[in-house]
Amino acid sequence: MPALAFAQAVPSQTGLGSRQASVTARVASGYEAIGIDVGGFTLFPTTTINTGYDTNIYASSRIEVADAFVTLAPRMTARSQWGRHRLSIVADANIQRYAERTIANSTQYGAQADGVLDIGSQTQVTLRGTIAQRIEPRGTEGDTFIGGAPIGYRVITSYASVQQQLGAVGLQVGGNYSVFRYGRTRVANQVADLSFRDFRSVGLDGRIGYHVSASVAPYVSISYNKASYPESSRTIDRDSHGYQLLGGVAVELTSLLVGQVGIGYISQKFGNAVFSDVGGFNYRGSLVWTPTTLSTVTLQANRSLQRGPTIGVAGVIQSEVRVGVDHELLRNLILHADVGYFDVDYRGIDRSDNRLNGGISARYALNRNLSITLSEAYSRQRPGGASITGRSYDRHQLNAGVAIQL
């Protein structure tokens, strides 16, 4: 399922800035995109063309089908060049076509705008809006039909926050609104109506941090959400509300280690007694370790409550841990490897999934306009619980691509 949960992920203000750019954030001189100046904006158009082979396109051990594919992914980024305030607009598309199983073809597109208003030297207003047509990734919780067309949905999200710095104290207050709309999909020559999955979420969040020193800032954050499924299409009440409380610390211990770690409590209460309330340990963390100027190690961990993909599921608790390594072998050759573990617990049925993802890739820049990428990704899932809806699979994806940028 998409990353948006009942409580939308909110950008955390640490007040700490890295003194050393990571390998992926740093672009070698002579290989950076120049862009096209238009008025007060600079446009950065890119297009990626990938060809690959998927050993299990439906991510299922019951229907294992291999196929070759081609993907076209254009993207346009517009960044403001104003002296004050900032605005970035990104429009993208992803068009994927399979050689034989054309029912698996997909077309995605969307746009996102991010803005920052500088209201004085100590006050900022952040605004974000997204509108997109996406699909549920194969093998994830939202991919409920095996062998059919990809499950598509429309999503609209918005977020606004105010950040205020009062000496050593940093404050942030924000709110978000999200709407997901599902249509129809084809399965075994039948058309399935998925409007029962339509979902709406409203949330509020707050955060307070204190700079003990220039490199350490303890913080406390709390978020509230109210989740609902449309009245007209529901067959069982799955509405809920809840909160997440986190306490932690943001650190920049020299230029080598930057990030934040928080632990706390997560709670979600459902209006229908059929679903047991959720309450328990919560955590969120992100650390970036740069042992040398040529290598970056990233650790991410998160626990969140995702929306239910079927009528009998009110929510999905997803716990994840991911480690990634980037290494600059040459100025124009970046190597990457990552591995992630997901534990998914369904509320309403006796089912849990354990998923392992990993991959390696290499990106070679020929010049500032052209680069080549080779990658291999592996995913493995094993189900737990008594539910017959559990899903098991092993999957490899091989890719070779060319990216063009201006």
Q: What is the pLDDT of residues 98-142, one digit of tens each?
A: 999 999 999 999 999 999 999 988 999 999 999 999 999 998 888
More confident residue, 230 or 294: 294
pLDDT tens for each residue of 377-389: 999 999 887 766 6
Burial class (CB in 10 A: 0-12, 13-18, 19+), 253: exposed
Average pLDDT for residues 25-31, to the nearest whole number? 80
What pLDDT does residue 3 have?
Answer: 39
% of the chain exceeding 90 in pLDDT: 63
Q: Distance between CA atoms of 100 and 98, rounded to whole angstroms?
A: 6
pLDDT tops 60 at residue 82: yes
- How do residues 324-377 score in pLDDT, each as one tens digit? 999 999 999 999 999 999 998 887 787 888 999 999 999 999 999 999 999 999
Q: With contact defined as beta carbons under 8 Å apart, do 54 and 393 qualify?
A: no
Structure-token pair, residue 341: 């573990």
- Contact (Cβ atoms closer than 8 angstroms) between residue 67 and residue 57: yes
Q: Is the dihedral of CA 200, 301, 243, 160 positive or negative?
A: negative
Q: How many CB atoms lie within 10 A of CB 34?
A: 11
Query: In terms of pLDDT, which residue wins out, 267 or 76?
Result: 76
Give 9's pLDDT tier (boundaries 50, 70, 90). Answer: very low
pTM metric for this prediction: 0.86
**83: buried, middle or exposed (CB in 10 Å: 19+, 13-18, 0-12)?**
exposed
